[in-house]
Chain A
């Protein structure tokens, strides 16, 4: 069965610090991978996605993520965070084998960035 694990539930950083949020998934076949972000009081929005090709994908607001197939990982990174990056971040995976269309999310990571 599909599953997604996010290692950090709460992360606190100072502005300009580097960020890496871990995400591992469990699925034996081809996958689509996503990071979504939810800013306080706002709805979920897509940060970046991986479908195929270059395993290093770049998203909005300076975020990037690297798909490492051998590790079943899709970690999110940003070299220098800003106060406005305070939000909850969700990793998600869709397994593509057998006609599945389920989009499964991790538990989320709450990021607080202090000025």
Chain B
């Protein structure tokens, strides 16, 4: 069966420090991968999605970037964190292909606090 791992679960970082959140999926190949940020009252905001290695689409201009160095690995990064980057970050995957008819499966999330 497929599983998704996201870490760390919580993170406290000072302003200006770098960020690296990692997400890996097991049990499938070439999944579609997503990074979301969940903020109170704003729901889940899609940040990045990827349909394959090295293929990243950015939805919201911001202080963050994403990379997919391996088929089942999706990394969310920042060179210098801002206070406004605080939030709850969720990684998700869905089966490969562009024909849809698939649901997305979510990781447990990372609570990031920038101080």
Contact = CB atoms under 8 A, between A and B. Distances in A.
A8 B108 CA distance: 26
Contact of A107 (B42, B46, B94): B42
A11 to B, nearest CB: 14
A71 interface: no
A46 B43 CA distance: 15
B74 interface: no
Given A43-B106, A43-B109, A44-B106, A104 B98 contact: no
Given A43-B107, A51-B100, A100-B98, A107 B43 contact: yes
A88 to B, nearest CB: 9
A106 to B, nearest CB: 5
B43 A49 contact: no
Chain A interface extent, by class: 20 to 34
Interface in A9-66: 9, 30, 32, 34, 43-46, 49, 51-52
B43 A103 contact: no
Interface string A81-115: 00000000010101010011111111110000000
B99 interface: yes
A46 B103 contact: yes
B1 interface: no
Contacts of A100: 98
Interface of B: 32, 34, 36, 41-46, 49, 51, 57, 59, 90, 92, 94, 98-104, 106-109
15 contacts: A32-B100, A32-B101, A43-B108, A44-B90, A45-B106, A94-B100, A101-B49, A101-B98, A103-B46, A103-B94, A104-B46, A105-B45, A106-B43, A107-B41, A108-B43
Q: Which 9 A-B pairs have the closest CB atoms?
A: A107-B43, A105-B44, A96-B100, A108-B43, A44-B106, A99-B98, A51-B101, A32-B100, A101-B32
